[in-house]
Structure 1
Amino acid sequence: MVERITLAITGASGAQYGLRLMQCLVASGAEIFCMISRAAKVVIETETSLHLPAGDREAEGVLIDYCNASAGQIRLLGHEDWMSPVASGSGAPSKMIVCPCSSGTLSSIAYGASNNLIERAADVALKERRKLVLVPREAPYSEIHLENMLKLTRMGAVILPASPGFYNKPETMEDLVDFVVARILSQLDIEQTLMPRWGESWEPDRE
């Protein structure tokens, strides 16, 4: 059975984390319902060489090529695509990740705003008691950020900050990105070969 996963990329710095995660989810064979906020598109243009066209279908084609995905494996959803599966508890995948997760998105999810499809999909994940992983990339954290993270943790969400480790002796920026992505994949119970677990060693997969 093909695993279906919701992936949202919002406007915090760290677009590389979300894009690399998308590549790894595609490589695992997962079907991805993808949402990219308007602010995230600006960050992607600023931090990477990837250009996403304004139209959703054109941008979807770019992501399929970027991730070497098969036709239909990535579905890019609009901000108000309320008829998409992720908007309903009866149709949404059992796992959702927001990577990176901006502080504004974190706040909106914590308070159930549901002003756009990303927020609604996260609200669905919480109300259905499904896996929700939020990857904030902010420094320093304010009291507001910390209170929102505590509130969401108590609701069952997983707060996984984009904080790379160094015990694996990273040599490139890609190594730092892969450290965080590997932790996310482990939370999703998806096998990964990006980096060894503690006490293990192997050569990382660069494909």
Structure 2
Amino acid sequence: MLTIRRANERGHADHGWLDTNHTFSFANYYDPAHMGFRNLRVINEDRVAPGRGFGKHPHRDMEIISYVIDGGLEHRDSMGNGSVIRPGEVQRMSAGTGVFHSEWNASKTAAVHFMQIWILPERGGIQPGYEQRAFPEQERRGRLRLVADPQGSEGAVTIHANARLYAGLLGEGETVEHRVPEGRHAWVQVVRGSVALEGERLAAGDGASTSDAGLLTLVGGEGQGAEVLVFDLA
């Protein structure tokens, strides 16, 4: 059985420089019915105005993944890392015992559109860490490409959590499948376009979860197809 979280049901805030949607409770948005799913704690879809961003602030004991949809996101942190994340790249920051970081729009003229994802680590107090990798379009086209997992398998970034994250690009009518093993759970998030998932149409910003073992079938929607993220969770 699927449980669907529609885009227009999410928490929303417009701060002028930041337009943000929260799939789960976050900051001033609190909904006890949507505190996360399994160890997936945050999916924020953010649009940041040119030259603006999140100033230096602290985190601890969280696996934070940034997935850029359009534009460039400039990252700096207290570990000495500095980079710009662009579409097709995945950034993982393990906050562990504590880290300060900032995220800014790298452009002075165009907005940056990205997803910020938080996953609860298997244990607290680990050494903070950072990783960024590119996953070219051809590696994600017509398939679900593993982009994050606990072992860094297949060139994925390594997260300190019992979770795997896949990214896929589907053309119109193109089909991919993901098997949910017994005792595992899945969350599907549509980044853009639309998909048919087990007979349900999901549009950009929609999410769906299941705790049923079996095969999930995703079909790219009419027109532009879809960009999707699939989480396999403990």
Assess same fold via TM > 0.5: no
More strand by share: 2
- When the two structures are superposed, what TM-score results if normalisation uses the length of structure 2? 0.27
TM-score normalized by the length of structure 1? 0.30
